[in-house]
Amino acid sequence: MSDAFRLLLKQVGSGTHTSKSLSREAAAEAMTLMLKQEATPAQIGAFMIAHRIKRPTPEELAGMLDAYETLGPQVAAIDNATVFVFCHPYDGRSRTAPVAPLVGLVLASAGVASLCPGGRRMPTKFGVPLVELWQKLGVDWTGLSLQQLHRIFAQTHLGLVYLPTHFPLAEGLTRYREELGKRPPLASMELVWNPYAGSATLVSGFVHPPTEERLLETLRIRGGFSTNSGVLFIKGLEGSCDLPRDRACIISHHHPQDNGFASERLILHPQDFGQGGSEVAYTTEADWQICAQQTLAGEANPLWSATVWNSGFYLWQAKQADSLEAGIAQAEESLTSGSAHEALTQLQTSLAKL
């Protein structure tokens, strides 16, 4: 048992009237003790439940991110590329079909880099994770060392930080999510964890507006607007970074300005750009694979519009297109010309040479 952790647990788990939030430093200590498994399983489970009931403050989330930054992996910076770090929920998708791998290939074909942290199928949703969809495209991120990941990222502008391999300390806490049956505060913190060492635009998906406000304040506390080239919050499908097509897209863009940051709220209506429609239901990995292959072959299929819509938006945000309309046209050209498929071939070739 950790006596130090017991004191921290007592502070957050004393009940409605007497519990107190942790300082940033204390939250970092608690996260460190959990990651290193110096706290006992009973202590870790109690902390996660108490913290979920209390709700973590931005200061606490900032401290937890400090611990991740100290103990976790960092992908070294690459040269001459605009970089997006996409923070999708780690427990994946179960209702709507993801397009993140396809969007990454379109972006890579335009010289824009995409890095995604994530892991295996994870509680509580156990939705399909990006690593499995990449495997359906002939790409396996699970066995790479951090150095190999950096090499591939520099060569192809695509990368996935896989928790079981690259951050086993964080992977060690995954079982608590299943045993408790609830998402712990880690699930919120992970939406703004950036494992990239260089300047990047952090893209964070969310579902509930209070989450956006809490994460925005967390980044402000950590000085995240001075170290990142920008932050995009996306009210995406199932909390992901994928823009919806059946409703208005709610986006906030925050970027450094003077000694602070400037914010802009975007409300985009897909039908205004010819991209509206019903969301594509996720069925099986085999069905997704067929649609993904057709998309990369430039053939019409259910995933086509979602891929074009999302790729066009991110090309615009990466300043590869002067307008959203131009970004959409560029995305369509990447798919019909075979450029996105060539990015996949280059990725497969680079991995085979390791």
Report the Cα–Cα distance between both ends of the chain, in Å, rounded.
43
When comparing pLDDT for 51 and 328, which is higher?
328
Q: In this predicted model, what pLDDT tens digit does every residue of 26-37 receive, in sequence order? A: 999 999 999 999
Q: In this predicted model, what pLDDT tens digit does every residue of 178-193 receive, in sequence order? A: 999 888 888 999 999 9
Q: In this predicted model, what pLDDT tens digit does every residue of 218-244 receive, in sequence order? A: 999 998 766 567 899 999 999 999 999
Phi (first) and psi of residue 79, to 5 degrees: -95, 150
* H or E segment to which residue 71 belongs: helix 58-71
Count of residues in the chain:
354
* H or E segment to which residue 316 belongs: helix 304-317
What are the residues whose beta carbons fall under 8 Å from the beta carbon of 35, sequence distance 6 or more? 67, 68, 71, 169, 170, 172, 173
Structure confidence at residue 157 (pLDDT)? 98
Structure confidence at residue 17 (pLDDT)? 66
Structure confidence at residue 19 (pLDDT)? 80
Instruction: Calculate mean pLDDT across residues 257-285.
Output: 92
Q: Is 83 helix (H, G, I), strand (E, B) or coil?
A: strand
Say if residue 304's pLDDT is above 90.
yes
Instruction: Calculate mean pLDDT across residues 299-314.
Output: 98
Residues 346 and 332: their CA atoms lie apart, in Å, by: 20
pTM: 0.96
Pairing relationship of beta strands 249-257 and 260-268 according to DSSP bridges = antiparallel
Question: Can you state the percent helix, strand and coil of the chain, rounding each to 5?
Answer: 50, 15, 35
Domains and CATH numbers, the chain: 3-71 (1.20.970.10), 79-354 (3.40.1030.10)
Check whether the bond before 32 is cis (ω within 30° of 0): no
Instruction: Calculate mean pLDDT across residues 270-292.
Output: 98
Q: In this predicted model, what pLDDT tens digit does every residue of 80-132 receive, in sequence order? A: 889 999 999 999 999 999 999 999 999 999 999 999 999 999 999 999 999 99
* H or E segment to which residue 308 belongs: helix 304-317
CA atoms within 13 A on the CB side of 289: 11
Phi (first) and psi of residue 196, to 5 degrees: -100, 135
What count of other Cβ atoms lies within 10 Å of the Cβ of residue 297?
A: 13
Residues 161 and 129: their CA atoms lie apart, in Å, by: 12
Structure confidence at residue 256 (pLDDT)? 78
Structure confidence at residue 182 (pLDDT)? 86
Pairing relationship of beta strands 201-205 and 260-268 according to DSSP bridges = unpaired
- The arrangement of strands across the sheet holding 201-205 comes to 158-162, 112-118, 82-87, 201-205, 230-234, 249-257, 260-268
Among residues 339, 293, 345, 301, the alpha carbon closest in space to that of 320 is found at 339
Average pLDDT over the chain reads 94
Structure confidence at residue 99 (pLDDT)? 98
280: pLDDT confidence band, cut at 50, 70 and 90? Answer: very high
The tokens describing 170, both together, are: 């964080």
